[in-house]
Amino acid sequence: MKTFTDAFNVVVGIEGGYWLDPVGGATKFGTTEKVARAWGYQGSMQDLPIETAQAIAKSLYWDKFQCDQFDPRIGLCVFDAAYNGGHPIVWLQQVVGVEADGIVGAHTIAAVRNQDVYKTVALFQASHQDYMTDLNNWVPNARGWAKRVANILRVAASN
């Protein structure tokens, strides 16, 4: 796993295809209808092209969080957490011991690059898991979300 496309394929493999959540609404490839509409997509969510989902993901979750500035395994974790919701840069900054201001700057990038990759991945994924367990909708989503964290750990550890 070395590129955005690799990371996108991992995350889409977790997210799956079309889903209609009674609370959250329609999603496809993990892209919510709200996000797709804001992007300019006007079609049925069931017909959302994967290329559109990929363009949205690259802009809103990969580029915005500068995932290409990190080791690909850390980039995958940050990208997945951004895609899934949460505070990935704050968690990353806490893990590497810099001010947790949520801004990806030179100081954060340098600190991340100076840490052990596997330790950073493990601690980051623990933060992601902690965040999810505190959400009001943890109970109905627990199994899938726990598997998500485990899957990202497996992919990061095997690369």
Q: How many of the other CB atoms lie within 10 Å of CB of 30?
A: 21
Q: How many domains does the chain have?
A: 1
Per-residue pLDDT of the chain (159 residues; tens, 9 = 90+): 689 999 999 999 988 899 888 777 899 999 999 999 999 999 999 999 999 999 999 999 999 999 999 999 999 999 999 999 899 999 999 999 999 999 999 999 999 999 999 999 999 999 999 999 999 989 988 999 999 999 999 999 997
Long-range contacts of 43-47 (CB under 8 A, 24+ apart): 45/18, 46/18
Return the H-helix or E-strand segment holding 28.
strand 25-28
Which range marks the domain in which residue 8 is found? 4-157
Identify the CATH number of the domain in which residue 130 sits: 1.20.141.10
Say how many C-beta atoms besides its own lie within 10 A of residue 121's C-beta: 22
Say what the pTM is. 0.94
Token readout for 59 is: 């802009």
